[in-house]
């Protein structure tokens, strides 16, 4: 399979190379034209090339993110400087020196931008970022747009957009607007993140380009799994007409790659080391682990799509059309080996107090070797189309735009299989009073390790026990279609009042969902622990391979990667019979049908007092949603309808003082809010099967949620010292009300026992705030250096440091103060770059600090520890039409994810909170060819 992929990529390279060789290449001497500062800006139909940007490499003439002779692309800098508010722009598409093929990973270059993943769907194991947020705020505090239009929300319990759907082969740049004014969506407390597709007017000349890359994931290859992959992208930009007033840009791409991940965690919630001393939360420095597990993940990722743009630009009218199609597929499997603290039939516990001995010390008994298999296959798809026009007549302007988008997230194959049997209790007959249990050594905070006797190791290391316990299969599906119409009318003038704009928006979204928990289709095999008709196989009887290594510690029970094909076949054989008996009430419980409408009107004014620009504005938004879902309660089981309506008025004022070409001083005050996600307010309650510890997890929405409200205050100063040298400093403060807090509330049955329920539901906190400082800059030696070689060397980077506070209420007597969920205290990027002649290189380090993930009641809160990544890229221009590149992602082989129970690194998290995970390095080779 890997050989086939390499041959296909090689053939693609050969075909493109022969095409270029057999065609007279048009010499492109210019770089990308300056992009419009806003959607309402007018760009000349035939811009003159910038003489300072000639003589660039093949890749430089076609992408906006190249560092050439120590210079950052001036188009992005010019737009940032020209804006009244705070904009940060990163251009993408340079696969020569960046091995990241996900837009979310490239967005980390922006000041104050951090990323996250859906841990519940094993997305951390892909090694890619998934969600992007400004200054680490909850993803629901951001507005996500594609070419200025909101995209469908298919992430379930959040309004985030899964950006791993998008490829740098089809996106031109990412714009973070941290102070959006009244002309933009008001539900954007953190800011607005806009993905822009390229247009023919972004380039100085017409072209045809091919980009090909091959990748290798070191960890997967070392574990003898599928770790090779690659991508091919073709795009063209063409300008035509008497005055080059017409432009077409078309791109298509296909990517396929494999990777693996390894993680470890403790099995269940932590227990207090001593008996009857209160909750685990109250004894955060004296906890003991309950079981341990090791997880191995395989991912086979496909990403493909196409984008197209058409533009007509003239003095009286501009017309445009955009169409985007994107698909992301991930075949994800997890193989888990675990040691559980549990006794089975015929075994007794000698402790007088549950898991605590006579001295009151946590001493669990029973060692059950267990294996678990889970798939989290994901299919994401998006189709979006936009058309619009902007007209100019004297002092008046008008614009109108319509858009349609259809997105879906589908998990058709959620297969789970478990292997459990008779536990080892230390007795010769393995019955009666137990004398052995899983004691976990936590001295290595990244690698919990069991302390076992030689007899226990001999028992649990055999893959001939136990046999399979069950197999089950469920599904999840969520789709949303979004229709948008927006327009504006403006008036421009000379003098103090330079312009007035009024506009409006209408947005209509339809959502459909269905889900079935795998627990509802469980087929039970015959084992010593349960009745059944068929005896399941052992791990040894399954096809697959035993791993040759694992993290820095190989567990005493070998890890076998089971055949996905065999598990798929088993699910097809046994699950349909169980599914046929699932009640209509259970099926109906997973159905959801909803609609959400958003209407907005706004007005802005543009004032100019000498070198001071001021943009006051006000925006009114009205939100109305309704849903139909299945409810089962004391009054019976039935479909019910629920609805919610709320509106918001948000004034804002943005100001920028620009006394000369070098200095800019900015300030902004604005009101904003954040809408709760659809599934957070309305939908079915999900109830899990009891865990091995007897805990039932209930996940339910909260129909009484209020929108989060905020006032934001921003100030900044920027200094531009010439090409390749600038510094930007920003201060910000946000005052929040009704913050949303993800909580996990436990109802424990009795002291010393975990049995009970965990209720997970979103709640409104009492309030919160965030204050921070952000610094970014870039410096090249340039003409300050005595030699041309040193003059092409530069450094750049950005740092965001913030302090956040949230006040929330768990119960009538439990009011807490902590940091805002998902908001790290520190985010920074550091970059060293060099470009001279045909060579350019880049060394980039990204760091995201620790943040609060989940608030819990009787257990310590879940935190995600800081993570860093060092990346290296090198490109060489072979000819005017060919550039080769080599790059490495995660050069230092740092962890991808590390979750802990409590703020310190002492206690690694349990099970699905993620534990400690590594995905390894990724190596890439690329070719960029143009004609």
Q: What pLDDT score was predicted for residue 32?
A: 31
Higher pLDDT, residue 235 or 59: 235
As given in the structure block, the two tokens for residue 68 are 């050439």
Which are the contacts of 492, defined by CB distance < 8 A and separation ≥ 6? 395, 396, 397, 498, 499
Cα–Cα dist 177/98, whole Å: 24
Pick from 783, 866, 775: which is nearest to 825 by CA?
866
| Per-residue model confidence as pLDDT tens digits over 273-282 | 999 999 999 9
Q: What pLDDT score was predicted for residue 660?
A: 95
Pick from 820, 825, 842: which is nearest to 833 by CA?
842
Percent helix, strand and coil across the chain, each rounded to 5?
10, 50, 35
3-class secondary structure for 677-736?
A: CHHHHCCCCEECCCCCCCEEEEECCCCCCCCEEEEEEEEEEEEECCCCCEEEEEEEEEEE
Is the sign of the CA dihedral 529, 530, 535, 538 positive or negative?
A: negative
Cα–Cα dist 868/569, whole Å: 40
- Domain residues for the domain of 681 are 2-930
| Per-residue model confidence as pLDDT tens digits over 759-816 | 666 777 789 999 999 999 988 877 666 666 777 888 999 999 999 999 887 766 778 8
Percent of the chain predicted with pLDDT > 70: 87
| Per-residue model confidence as pLDDT tens digits over 618-674 | 999 999 988 888 877 667 788 888 888 889 999 999 999 999 999 999 999 999 999
Instruction: Name the β-bridge partners of 848.
Output: 827, 867
Q: What pLDDT score was predicted for residue 39?
A: 38
Cα–Cα dist 503/30, whole Å: 37
| Per-residue model confidence as pLDDT tens digits over 61-88 | 333 333 333 333 567 788 899 999 999 9
CATH code (residue 188) = 2.40.170.20
As given in the structure block, the two tokens for residue 470 are 């069950």
812: left (phi over 0), alpha (psi -120 to 50) or beta: alpha
Is the sign of the CA dihedral 220, 226, 228, 230 positive or negative?
A: negative
Whether pLDDT at 129 is above 80: yes
What's the structural domain count of the chain?
1
| Per-residue model confidence as pLDDT tens digits over 879-919 | 999 999 999 999 999 999 999 999 999 999 998 789 999 99
Q: What pLDDT score was predicted for residue 559?
A: 97
For residues 403 and 386, the answer to whether their CB atoms sit within 8 Å is yes
* Residue 451 CA, distance from chain mean position: 37
Q: What pLDDT score was predicted for residue 324?
A: 97
Rounded to the nearest 5°, which phi and psi values hold at 455?
Answer: -65, -40
Whether pLDDT at 360 is above 70: yes
Q: How far is CA 802 from CA 166, 732, 805, 861, in A?
A: 29, 9, 10, 20
Whether pLDDT at 562 is above 90: yes
Nearest 10 degrees: CA dihedral of 902, 905, 911, 913? 60
For residues 595 and 510, the answer to whether their CB atoms sit within 8 Å is yes
Q: How many alpha carbons lie under 13 Å from residue 834 in its C-beta half-sphere? A: 12
153: left (phi over 0), alpha (psi -120 to 50) or beta: beta
pLDDT interval class at 21 (50, 70, 90): very low
| Per-residue model confidence as pLDDT tens digits over 145-177 | 999 999 998 776 677 788 888 999 999 889 999
pLDDT interval class at 689 (50, 70, 90): low
Pick from 302, 204, 233: which is nearest to 16 by CA?
233
* Strand duo 439-441 + 449-451: pairing: antiparallel
User: Angle at Cα 660 formed by Cα 654 and Cα 664, nearest 5°?
Assistant: 35
For residues 438 and 341, the answer to whether their CB atoms sit within 8 Å is yes
For residues 894 and 847, the answer to whether their CB atoms sit within 8 Å is no
Which are the contacts of 11, defined by CB distance < 8 A and separation ≥ 6? none
Q: What pLDDT score was predicted for residue 6?
A: 36
Q: How far is CA 651 from CA 83, 452, 716, in A?
A: 19, 64, 20
pTM, two decimal places: 0.88
Which are the contacts of 401, defined by CB distance < 8 A and separation ≥ 6? 148, 149, 386, 387, 388, 389, 484, 485, 486, 487
């Amino acid at each position: 399979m890997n050989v086939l992929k390499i041959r296909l990529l090689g053939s693609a390279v050969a075909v493109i190379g022969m095409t270029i060789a057999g065609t007279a290449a048009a010499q492109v001497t210019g770089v990308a034209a300056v992009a419009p500062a806003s959607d309402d800006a007018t760009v000349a139909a035939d811009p003159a090339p910038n003489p300072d940007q000639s003589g660039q490499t093949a890749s430089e003439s076609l992408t906006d993110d190249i560092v050439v002779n120590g210079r950052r692309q001036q188009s992005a800098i010019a737009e940032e400087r020209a804006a009244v508010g705070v904009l940060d722009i990163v251009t993408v598409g340079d696969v020569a020196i960046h091995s990241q093929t996900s837009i979310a990973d490239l967005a980390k270059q922006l000041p104050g931008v951090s990323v996250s993943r859906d841990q519940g769907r094993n997305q951390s194991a892909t090694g890619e970022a998934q969600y992007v947020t400004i200054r680490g705020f909850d993803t629901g505090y951001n507005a996500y747009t594609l070419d200025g239009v909101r995209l469908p929300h298919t992430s379930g319990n959040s309004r985030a957009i899964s950006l791993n759907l998008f490829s740098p082969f089809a996106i031109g740049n990412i714009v973070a607007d941290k102070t959006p004014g009244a002309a933009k969506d008001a539900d954007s407390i953190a800011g607005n993140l806009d993905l822009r597709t390229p247009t023919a007017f972004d380039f100085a000349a017409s072209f045809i380009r091919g980009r090909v890359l091959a990748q290798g994931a070191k960890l997967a290859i070392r574990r003898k799994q599928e770790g090779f992959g690659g991508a091919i992208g073709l795009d063209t930009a063409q300008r035509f007409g008497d005055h080059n007033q017409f432009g077409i840009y078309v791109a298509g791409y296909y990517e396929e790659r494999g990777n693996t991940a390894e993680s470890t965690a403790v099995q269940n919630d932590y227990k207090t080391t001593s008996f009857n001393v209160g909750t685990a939360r109250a004894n955060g420095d004296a906890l003991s682990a309950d079981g341990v597990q090791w997880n191995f993940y395989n991912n086979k990722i496909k990403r493909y799509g196409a984008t197209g743009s058409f533009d007509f630009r003239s003095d009286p009218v501009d017309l445009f059309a955009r169409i985007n199609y994107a698909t992301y597929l991930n075949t994800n499997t997890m193989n888990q080996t675990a040691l559980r603290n549990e006794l089975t039939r015929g075994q007794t516990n000698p402790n007088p107090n549950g898991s605590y001995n006579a001295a009151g010390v946590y001493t669990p008994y029973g060692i059950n070797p267990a294996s678990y298999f889970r798939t989290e296959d994901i299919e994401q798809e998006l189709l979006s189309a936009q058309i619009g026009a902007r007209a100019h007549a004297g002092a008046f302007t008008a614009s109108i735009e319509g858009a349609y988008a259809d997105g879906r997230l589908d998990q058709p194959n959620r297969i789970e299989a478990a292997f459990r049997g008779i536990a080892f209790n230390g007795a010769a007959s393995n019955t009666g009073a137990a004398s052995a249990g899983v004691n976990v050594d936590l001295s290595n905070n990244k690698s919990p390790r069991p302390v076992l006797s030689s007899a226990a190791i001999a028992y649990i290391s055999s893959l001939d026990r136990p046999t399979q316990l069950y197999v089950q299969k469920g599904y999840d599906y969520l789709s949303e279609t979004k229709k948008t119409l927006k327009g504006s009318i403006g008036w421009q003038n000379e003098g103090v009042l330079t312009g007035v704009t009024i506009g409006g928006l209408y947005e209509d979204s339809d959502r459909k969902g269905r889900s079935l928990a795998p627990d509802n289709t469980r087929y039970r095999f015959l084992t010593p622990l349960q009745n059944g008709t068929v005896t399941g196989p052992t791990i040894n009887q399954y096809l697959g391979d035993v791993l040759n290594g694992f993290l820095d510690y190989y567990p005493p029970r070998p890890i076998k990667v089971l055949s996905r094909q065999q598990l798929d076949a088993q699910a097809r054989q046994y699950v349909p019979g169980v599914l046929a008996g699932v009640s209509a009430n259970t099926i109906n419980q997973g159905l959801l049908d909803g609609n959400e409408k958003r209407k907005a009107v706004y007005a802005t004014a543009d004032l100019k007092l000498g070198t001071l620009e001021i943009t006051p504005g006000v925006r009114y938004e009205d939100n109305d949603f309704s849903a139909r879902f299945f409810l089962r309660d004391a009054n019976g089981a039935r479909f019910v309808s629920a609805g919610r309506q709320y509106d918001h008025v948000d004034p804002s004022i943005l100001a920028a003082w620009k006394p000369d070409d070098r200095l800019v001083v900015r300030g902004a005050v604005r009101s904003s809010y954040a809408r709760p996600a659809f599934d957070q307010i309305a939908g079915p309650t999900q109830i899990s099967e009891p865990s091995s510890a007897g805990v039932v997890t209930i996940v339910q929405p909260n129909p009484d949620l209020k929108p989060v409200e905020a006032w934001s205050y921003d100030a900044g100063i920027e200094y531009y010292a010439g090409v390749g040298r600038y510094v930007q400093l920003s201060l910000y403060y946000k005052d929040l009300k009704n913050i949303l807090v993800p909580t996990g509330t436990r109802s424990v049955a009795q002291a010393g026992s975990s049995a009970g329920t965990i209720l997970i539901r979103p709640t409104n906190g009492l309030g919160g705030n965030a204050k921070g400082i952000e610094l970014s800059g870039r410096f090249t030696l340039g003409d300050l250096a005595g030699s041309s070689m040193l003059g092409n060397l530069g450094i750049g980077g950005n740092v965001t440091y913030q302090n956040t506070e949230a006040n929330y209420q768990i119960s009538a007597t439990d009011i807490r103060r902590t940091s805002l969920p998902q908001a790290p205290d520190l985010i920074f990027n550091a970059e060293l770059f060099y470009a001279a002649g045909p060579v350019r290189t880049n060394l980039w380090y990204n760091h995201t600090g620790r943040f609060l993930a989940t608030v819990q009641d009787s257990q310590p809160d879940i935190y995600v520890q800081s993570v860093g990544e060092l990346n290296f890229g090198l490109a060489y221009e072979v000819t005017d039409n060919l550039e080769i590149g080599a790059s490495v992602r995660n050069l230092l082989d740092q962890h991808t994810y590390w979750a802990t129970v409590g703020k310190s690194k002492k206690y690694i998290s349990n099970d699905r909170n993620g534990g400690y995970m590594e995905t390894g390095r990724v190596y890439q080779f690329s070719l960029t060819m143009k004609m």
